[in-house]
Amino acid sequence: MNPANKMEQLSAYMSGKGLKSTSQRDYIADTFFRTNTHISLEELLGKVRRKHKGIGYATVYRTMKLLSESGLALSRQFGDGQTRYENLPADGHHDHIICIKCSKIAEFHNPKIEALQSEAAKKLGYTVVNHKMELYGYCADCAVKDREA
Amino acid sequence: MNPANKMEQLSAYMSGKGLKSTSQRDYIADTFFRTNTHISLEELLGKVRRKHKGIGYATVYRTMKLLSESGLALSRQFGDGQTRYENLPADGHHDHIICIKCSKIAEFHNPKIEALQSEAAKKLGYTVVNHKMELYGYCADCAVKDREA
DNA sequence: ATTGAAAATGAATATTATTATCATTAGAGA
DNA sequence: TCTCTAATGATAATAATATTCATTTTCAAT
Ligand SMILES: [Mn+2]
Ligand SMILES: [Mn+2]
Ligand SMILES: [Zn+2]
Ligand SMILES: [Zn+2]
């Protein structure tokens, strides 16, 4: 789904809720839809202010919360104390592996793991609705540097 | 390992670092060692103040940080904004499944999943050092209530 | 095009968990 | 017992996020 489609989706979601479209909201959403990183609120605010310097902190917070609720953005917590957002992946959900030295993030998806998760949950009487799985370790670059040091 | 053993371990760790034993610290640690839940700082402070009402917030924070560093406590973040601590499980590490209705927590360990995690990471050039895996869903009780409603 | 109710904005303030500061107290080796 | 150093607890500081509120903007109805 391209940014324009997403703007339409958002528009539909908003009119369904009686929300109004504004230039700030549109610009923040569009800017976000064009990112392909795990962006923090602060980074997004910076990006957005390059063009619209009047935009406030609160509006970025509010807009990303809205995108999150509407299912057009995913919020992620990687343990550095800041919430990050990413666009919905085209190929379904994925999990993350994060380098504990340089913070580089790689993504993966493993249906076998998820089947085993459901199975483990079932044994305990639970039904899984969603999950959070993050691996922490060294990326290839940082592992090399470690060996050299 | 029982509470008394843990107190010894802690004592050893502290003397190794030139730290002093105090009645507050000892009581907080001992109280924690006797819990078998995922306890928040606030809950622990409450417990501890039942006997020693003078104990300050900061001392509980500092003590739990110390236990965490010494490897005698595990800190957990389950997404409710509060850090929780649990005792080291006797049978190695485990992951969690949390009911999104009543917050009940179950624990599980699945070596097969962890092997697959390492494998997935390896494909991306990463080496896994640790991981965080939480499943969210409905416990048996809450699933039943849902069906009845 | 005008109007008016409802929603959005941005600045400022509040909240919440956690950490740091600092004057005072207490532990423990000499 | 002295004395040095760490620990304590009250309080203030931080940092991310949420809320408040006066003002502005949107948009459906006129
Ligand atoms: Mn991602
Ligand atoms: Mn546990
Ligand atoms: Zn790296
Ligand atoms: Zn439940």
Instruction: Please report the DSSP string for A14-70 in residue order.
Output: HHHTT----HHHHHHHHHHHT--S-EEHHHHHHHHHHH-TT--HHHHHHHHHHHHHT
Mean pLDDT (chain B, rounded): 95
Q: What's the confidence (pLDDT) of residue A148?
A: 72
Mean pLDDT (chain A, rounded): 95
- For residue B44, the tally of other CB atoms under 10 A from its CB is 21
Taking only the tens place, the pLDDT of each residue in A20-76 is: 999 999 999 999 999 999 999 999 999 999 999 999 999 999 999 999 999 999 999
For the record, the structure tokens of B4 come out as 């008394």
Report, as an integer, the average pLDDT of B47-73. 96
Q: What's the confidence (pLDDT) of residue B149?
A: 67
What is the least distance, in Å, from the CA of B10 to any CA of chain A? 27
On whether any CB of chain A is under 8 Å from the CB of B128, the answer is yes
Q: Which domains does chain A have, with CATH numbers?
A: 3-87 (1.10.10.10), 95-148 (3.30.1490.190)
Q: What sign results for the dihedral spanned by CA atoms A104, A108, A113, A115?
A: positive
Report, as an integer, the average pLDDT of A118-144. 96
Whether the Cβ atoms of residue A58 and residue A43 lie closer than 8 Å to each other: no
For the record, the structure tokens of B54 come out as 């003078």
Q: What's the confidence (pLDDT) of residue B147?
A: 64
Report, as an integer, the average pLDDT of B72-80. 95
Question: 0.85 cut: is pTM over it?
Answer: yes
Whether the Cβ atoms of residue B96 and residue B107 lie closer than 8 Å to each other: yes
What is the least distance, in Å, from the CA of A74 to any CA of chain B? 15
Say if the Cβ atoms of A112 and B116 lie within 8 Å.
yes
Residue in A123, A129, A133 closest to B137 by CB:
A129
CA–C1' distance A114–D21 (Å)?
47
CA distance A51 to A65: 21
List residues, Cβ < 7 Å, touching strand C.
A 14, 18-20, 22, 24-25, 52, 54-59, 62-63; B 20-23, 40-41, 57-58, 61, 65, 81-83
Indicate the pLDDT class of residue B144, thresholds 50, 70 and 90. Answer: confident
Taking only the tens place, the pLDDT of each residue in B4-57 is: 899 999 999 999 999 999 999 999 999 999 999 999 999 999 999 999 999 999
Q: What's the confidence (pLDDT) of residue B48?
A: 97
Q: What's the confidence (pLDDT) of residue B146?
A: 64
